[in-house]
């Protein structure tokens, strides 16, 4: 069920004894790497507690259509926009009837009406209720609207009857949900991306840094999420909001970035070093602000650890991608850097060109591998990031 990784699943639970299975379903989604939010109807809350579902999902359980804690009190709209997929399990005959009639008289029906996400229905009811012509007409209406009906299964029921009406088992439902998503190029992979500058302290108020904005690294993180990856973003100080569905680790210095990177290597499949790491740091950092007493001041610098080289030569070595920001002989210098550092792939750009590179919204690069070079002309960093992630994914699969 790797396709569920990083997906947003909205699980609706209506009234019925099968609601106890929804706890296991929630656990399966979480284990597969999905983010789960649960919407519980009043009848559903009679069969399973919100506390149980909150503990399993890791998120508050939603029950009320007008939530005073939600942004602008419009919780149903927020949830409707949030979801990648909506699953109603169990779906009672009452809920199915209200959905077929287009009613929005509680939180669950309202957000179903307001969402563009795929909607899957897992019926659960007494066998006579399932066979009733009105229920079948309602099921037909939902199918005509493009909703997927999962089940029901046939077997013994809590009321003592035997026949159709059992909710499908959680594993089966989770697999149906996974099939709704394309097997994207990086599904199930863990990408670690460094971004932004580092700051090397001189004293409590001064530091050495560079002009990196972090835009390229953040765009790569967003593109990797779109490709199905689990993404950890290790970022120096920037003025950019973290992309959705990305685990962000904020750091300042090169040493902090190195330690954060090494901590991720055990589970890392692909490491992309997009950060502009300071080459040197002051050998001593003053405890107090240095006063301006003389016309000259000397600062002794020491070389910083080389993060991408350390990663590329580690025992738990991931597929390692570097960047080369050059001002002359761009391809030659980048290829030399790739070979010296033991990288699988390097992305070279000419930062001397106006309108691209540091602090710009655009960039133009050359992707260099052992036996190939591919030029990508100037485009927005967001568009470039998608092309780069696609190339990295292909190179990774070729090697593995």
Please identify every residue annotated as catalytic.
159
**Can you tell me which residue has the tokens 């001041």?**
297
Radius of gyration of the chain from Cα atoms?
Answer: 27
**Encoding tokens for residue 365?**
């690069």
* CA distances for 138 relative to 112, 115, 121, 143, 200, angstroms: 16, 20, 12, 9, 65
**Encoding tokens for residue 372?**
């190939």
In this structure, are residues 239 and 221 in contact, taking their beta carbons and an 8 Å threshold? no
* Whole-angstrom distance, CA of residue 220 vs CA of residue 122: 37
Q: Could you say which DSSP state residue 377 is in? A: E
Write the DSSP string, 85-99: EEEEEEE-HHHHHHH
What are 241-246's contacts with CB under 8 Å, separation 24+?
242/218, 243/218, 245/6, 245/8, 245/35, 246/221, 246/222
């Amino acid at each position: 069920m790797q396709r569920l990784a990083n997906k947003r699943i909205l699980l609706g639970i209506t009234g019925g004894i099968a609601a106890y299975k929804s706890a296991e379903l929630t656990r399966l989604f979480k284990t597969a790497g999905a983010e789960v939010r649960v919407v519980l109807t009043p009848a559903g809350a009679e069969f399973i507690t919100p506390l149980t579902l909150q503990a399993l999902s890791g998120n508050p359980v939603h029950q009320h259509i007008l939530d005073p804690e939600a942004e602008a009190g419009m919780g149903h709209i927020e949830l409707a926009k949030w979801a990648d997929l909506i699953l109603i399990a169990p779906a009672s005959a009452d809920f199915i009837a209200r959905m077929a009639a287009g009613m929005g008289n509680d939180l669950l029906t309202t957000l179903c009406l307001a969402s563009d996400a795929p909607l899957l229905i897992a019926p659960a009811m007494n066998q006579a209720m399932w066979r009733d012509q009105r229920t079948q007409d309602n099921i037909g209406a939902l199918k005509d609207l493009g909703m997927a009906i999962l089940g029901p299964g046939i077997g013994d029921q809590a009321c003592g009857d035997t026949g159709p009406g059992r909710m499908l088992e959680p594993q089966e439902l989770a697999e149906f949900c996974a099939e709704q998503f394309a097997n994207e190029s990086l599904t199930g992979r863990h990408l670690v991306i460094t971004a932004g500058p580092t700051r090397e302290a001189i004293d409590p108020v001064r530091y050495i840094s560079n002009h990196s904005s972090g835009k390229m690294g953040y765009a790569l993180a967003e593109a990797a999420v779109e490709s199905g990856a689990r993404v950890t973003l290790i970022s120096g100080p920037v003025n950019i909001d973290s992309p959705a569905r990305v685990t962000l680790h904020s750091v300042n210095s090169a040493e902090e970035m190195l330690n954060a990177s090494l901590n991720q290597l055990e589970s890392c499949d692909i490491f992309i070093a997009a950060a502009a790491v300071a080459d040197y740091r002051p050998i001593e950092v003053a405890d107090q602000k240095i006063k301006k007493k003389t016309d000259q001041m000397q600062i002794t610098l020491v070389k910083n650890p080389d993060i991408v080289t350390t990663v590329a030569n580690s025992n738990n070595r991931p597929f390692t991608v570097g960047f080369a920001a050059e001002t002359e002989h761009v391809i030659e210098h980048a290829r030399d850097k790739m070979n010296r550092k033991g990288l699988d792939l390097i992305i070279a750009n000419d930062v001397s060109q106006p309108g691209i590179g540091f602090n710009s919204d655009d960039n133009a690069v050359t992707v260099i591998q052992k036996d190939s070079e591919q030029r990508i002309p100037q485009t927005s960093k967001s568009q470039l990031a998608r092309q780069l992630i696609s190339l990295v994914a292909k190179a990774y699969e070729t090697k593995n």
